[in-house]
Amino acid sequence: MSAAMSALAGQRSQLQGLALCDWPLPAGQMAHATVLIVHGLGEHMGRYAALAQALNSWGYAVRSYDQYGHGASEGPRGGLPTATRLLDDLALVVDHTRATVAAGHPLLLLGHSMGGLVAARFVALQRRPVEALVLSSPALDPGLNPVQKLLVAVLPSLLPNLRVGNGLDARLISHDPAVVAAYQSDPLVHDRIAARLARFIADDSAAVRAAAPGWVLPTLLLYAGADKLVNPAGSRAFAAAAPPAVLSNQCFELLYHEIFNEAEPGRSQVLAALRAWLDARFAA
């Protein structure tokens, strides 16, 4: 493997059934902060290698992990053994990360889609202290129709481990055909979701929106106005309710769901917004 390919792949490890990946800075280079990426439904940490490399080039160390039931981590695809498992796993990874960096080194969360929901709920519950939060097209409003709401209310009690198709249309993740093709051919991408996981998304997205008025952590919210996979109304509601002193938000009106994987010039615009916000807080 070439040095470039090795850097893109990152450094893989395991933590109690969870697959981890680190993209560290070169030896001797001090990182401004460490960014812990939390991926979305049906995908895996490897899809964030390009974002990790961009963050590295700006002076940020990066870590990510495959959530339970995803990627190379344990569990049936899209399964969820307990309602708090994803939050518990994030706490485990945060603790492990804190133990590997110097005291006082800033750690921030960057969550996309369902990962954004997990990260935001983690912050709202104050499970562990972190220095900042970045949300990318977070699943703060699942946009369920009446029938789906009924199923989410009933099925988790009757058949919590029943796994069905998640209904995500890969063609709507990005305007970049190469991104769509790579997603469709990725063996680590799946389309399953358990009833208990669906309820977690429905219940905890509402809880995060309810917590917005009391939000205290510096947060950057970036979302897509043309998102067809997550209802952008959830991000708009959160932005309207959260204190402007701690929340910065930007809607990219023409972009699809995966804003960091969009066609140009959208992708570069999103990355520029991310870098400006990070550098103002951690690289000044």
Helix H or strand E encompassing 18: strand 18-23
Looking up residue 224, the CATH number of its domain turns out to be 3.40.50.1820
Mean pLDDT along residues 119-137: 98
Which domain range does residue 125 map to?
3-282
> What pLDDT does residue 150 have?
66
Mean pLDDT along residues 90-103: 96
CA distance 127 to 130: 9
pLDDT of 1 strictly over 50: no
Tokens encoding 33: 């902060």
Tokens encoding 114: 């369902």
pLDDT of 147 strictly over 60: no
Distance of CA 103 to the CA centre of its chain: 25
Mean pLDDT along residues 241-253: 98
Q: What domain count does the chain have? A: 1
Mean pLDDT of the chain: 94
Mean pLDDT along residues 85-103: 97
Structure confidence at residue 145 as a pLDDT band (50, 70, 90): low
pLDDT of 152 strictly over 90: no
Structure confidence at residue 3 as a pLDDT band (50, 70, 90): very low
Cβ distance 119 to 39 under 8 Å? no
pLDDT digits (tens, 9 = 90+) for 196-218: 998 899 999 999 999 999 999 99
Mean pLDDT along residues 175-195: 96
Q: What is the three-state SS of 108-141?
A: EEEEECHHHHHHHHHHHCCCCCCCEEEEECCCCC
Cβ distance 122 to 36 under 8 Å? no
pLDDT of 5 strictly over 60: no
Name which residue leads in pLDDT, 40 or 162: 40
pLDDT of 6 strictly over 60: no
